[in-house]
Copies of this chain bind each other. A is one copy, B any other.
Amino acid sequence: MAATITISTDFGLTDGYVAAMKGAILTVNPSAQIVDITHHISPQNTKEAAFILGTVYRYFPTGTIHLIIVDPGVGSRRKAIILRTPIADFIAPDNGILSYVIGDFARNAGRKIPETLQAVAITNMKYWRAPVSRTFHGRDIFAPVAAHLSLGVPLAEFGAPITSINTFPLPVPRLSPKGVLIGEIVHIDSFGNLITDITEQDLPHGTPNFEICGNTIRGLSQAYRESKALLAIIGSSGYLEIALNEGNAAAFLRAQIGSEIRVTVISNNK
């Protein structure tokens, strides 16, 4: 079956690790349509992987299987899990990497898996590659499980149901006592655009004023090209972004993951 399987890792593309996973998938399902999401997650950075996955998965065909292998606990007792949602399946170590996905289906779900979803702990070795190496479950467990799942093997075949998984608290902007909306930078993309945790719905009514790293931006732009200076814009994933047209906002502002952004409303008499 021509099911789509995506792969996200922190393996880089210099070695053959990603290719070995693809080989393991194709050995089980030669017709799988394999798509790379990214292999350049910073080593062991599960939060970065969680964010990128969260911005991408909904653009794939319904039923896509997403493999996410950022796995500092490989070989330890951390669980390997499959999470089934109405739009996609996710196969990953149980280390918080699915926090944004869980958050999309139930705000403040915490560790509890929302009732509309299903999950299992992967324990049935029948669907693994043998022998299983100590350091590369991506190739020996996750990849073949994804391939068997893509062939229609029922979820329950892979292991027993679970009702909770590890998640981390998603960053959300807060309102100060004085009415200032305070968010933070959660991702910096390769253009240097600063992606915040503030959505369009979070923004106050009126013309917003943004303060970040000692700079001020007045109003929202509708296109990068509208300004040659810093600009604020609602980015492609629905989050407020700070960008520098034809430049690198992160470098210009010396901004980092976690840098604060403050939003107020410009009063009419200004």
**Which residue numbers of A lie inside 8 Å of B, CB to CB?**
2, 4, 6, 11-17, 19-20, 22-24, 26-27, 30-31, 33-40, 43-44, 52-53, 55-57, 59-61, 64, 72-76, 133-136, 139-140, 189-191, 222-226, 233-236, 241, 245-246
Quote the shortest CB–CB distance from A257 to chain B (angstroms). Answer: 14
CB atoms of A33 and B30 under 8 A apart? yes
Cα-based distance from A117 to B236 in the complex (angstroms): 33
Q: Which residues in B have their C-beta under 8 angstroms from that of A30?
A: 2, 4, 33, 61
Quote the shortest CB–CB distance from A30 to chain B (angstroms). Answer: 6
> Chain B residue with minimal CB distance to A245?
B72
Known: A61-B30, A225-B73. A52 touches B15 (CB 8 A): yes
Known: A4-B26, A76-B225. A40 touches B61 (CB 8 A): no
Q: Which residues in B have their C-beta under 8 angstroms from that of A16?
A: 37-38, 52-53, 55-56
27 contacts between A and B (CB under 8 A): A4-B26, A4-B30, A6-B23, A12-B190, A13-B36, A13-B40, A14-B190, A15-B189, A16-B53, A19-B35, A20-B56, A20-B236, A23-B35, A24-B59, A26-B33, A27-B60, A30-B33, A73-B225, A74-B223, A75-B224, A76-B225, A76-B226, A134-B222, A134-B223, A135-B233, A135-B234, A135-B241
Q: Which residues in B have their C-beta under 8 angstroms from that of A225?
A: 72-76
Copies in the complex: 3
Most chain-B CB neighbours within 10 Å: which of A12, A26, A73? A26
Q: Which residues in B have their C-beta under 8 angstroms from that of A60?
A: 23, 26-27
Q: Which residues in B have their C-beta under 8 angstroms from that of A34?
A: 35
Most chain-B CB neighbours within 10 Å: which of A26, A64, A236? A236
CB atoms of A35 and B11 under 8 A apart? no
Quote the shortest CB–CB distance from A77 to chain B (angstroms). Answer: 9
Interface pairs A-B: 6 shortest CB-CB: A75-B223, A136-B236, A16-B56, A23-B60, A12-B190, A23-B59
Q: Which residues in B have their C-beta under 8 angstroms from that of A74?
A: 223-225
Our pick among B12, B61, B76, B241 for the contact of A23 (Cβ within 8 Å) is: B61
Quote the shortest CB–CB distance from A29 to chain B (angstroms). Answer: 10
Cα-based distance from A190 to B13 in the complex (angstroms): 8
Most chain-B CB neighbours within 10 Å: which of A17, A39, A40? A17
